[in-house]
Amino acid sequence: MDRRNFLKRGSAAVAGAAGALSLPVLSSCTSEAEAAGSRLEGKKWGMLIDLTRCREGCTACMDACREENNVAYHGDRRWDVHWIRKATLHPHEESAGLEEKEVLLMCNQCDEPPCAMVCPVQATYKRPDGIVLVDHHRCIGCRYCMLACPYNARFFNWKENPEWPNKEYPRRSHGVAESCHFCAHLIDKGGRPACVAACERSGAGALIFGDLNDPGSEISRLVAAGGAKRVREDFGTQPKVYYLGL
């Protein structure tokens, strides 16, 4: 065999072996992705926060979120990450008989997400089921999404996170951005967000999660009944988080 033939045959053999090895892997990947795509298609996950049932001083949802998603807490308000947080609203005009009230704030899972629009590497993107999430292996940490989010719902890992309570879910390195993703990893296994489950366990049941595309779901019925509001709808971002009692 001359050198030319050897190279020809050699490379053919290598290519063949590589092909034989990679084909099943590739096809399984594609079918998995297709199956996942069809599973997500047609769904539109949403959350309804019933503030009339949310209890003062209760932190069940926030604690559950931190435990489930390994959300970084450093004890410093400048760098702490909060996927779901409580805030107190104080009326500008007290004379009007309005009183202070507590609200829960989280990523609004916008249908027109400005964060995904500005992400230069498509690390933040919207899935077919409407969930906006971050690929932490792709994020370059430019923090443009944090500027673009009009709800201050996006956070950055300024420091390494020392805690890793849930080994089933990755923790993030410093240098990447993140926000609530409706516990997409649990939804994919047929579950629901950790905060929703925790709120129900606590007895309050203030968080209602479901498919907004399914007219029979509890959330769809509550939204259709009227009275549910979204934060600054005039931004045009089409939030999928609704509030009762705002």
Residues that bind another protein (CB under 8 A): 62, 77-82, 85-93, 100, 103, 105, 114, 117-123, 138-144, 146-148, 150-152, 155-160, 173-177, 231-232, 235, 237, 246
Q: Which two tokens stand for residue 245?
A: 């009692």
Closest to another protein by CB, 114 vs 210, is 114
Total Cβ atoms within 10 A of residue 185: 16
Total Cβ atoms within 10 A of residue 142: 15
Closest to another protein by CB, 129 vs 178, is 178
Q: How far apart are the first and last CA of the chain?
A: 82
**Least distance (Å) between residue 225 CB and another protein:** 22
* Of 25, 3, 2, 6, residue with least CA distance to 14: 6
Q: Which two tokens stand for residue 191?
A: 């579950």
Q: Which two tokens stand for residue 154?
A: 């996006």
Closest to another protein by CB, 49 vs 186, is 49
Total Cβ atoms within 10 A of residue 166: 15
Exposure string for 52-71, b = 16+ CB within 10 A, e = fewer: eebeeebebbbebbbebbbb
Closest to another protein by CB, 92 vs 189, is 92
**Least distance (Å) between residue 224 CB and another protein:** 24
Closest to another protein by CB, 125 vs 217, is 125
**Least distance (Å) between residue 61 CB and another protein:** 13
Q: Which two tokens stand for residue 211?
A: 């498919």
**Least distance (Å) between residue 14 CB and another protein:** 26
CA 214 – CA 183 distance, rounded (Å)? 20
CA 213 – CA 17 distance, rounded (Å)? 47
Closest to another protein by CB, 92 vs 167, is 92
**Least distance (Å) between residue 73 CB and another protein:** 9
**Least distance (Å) between residue 163 CB and another protein:** 15
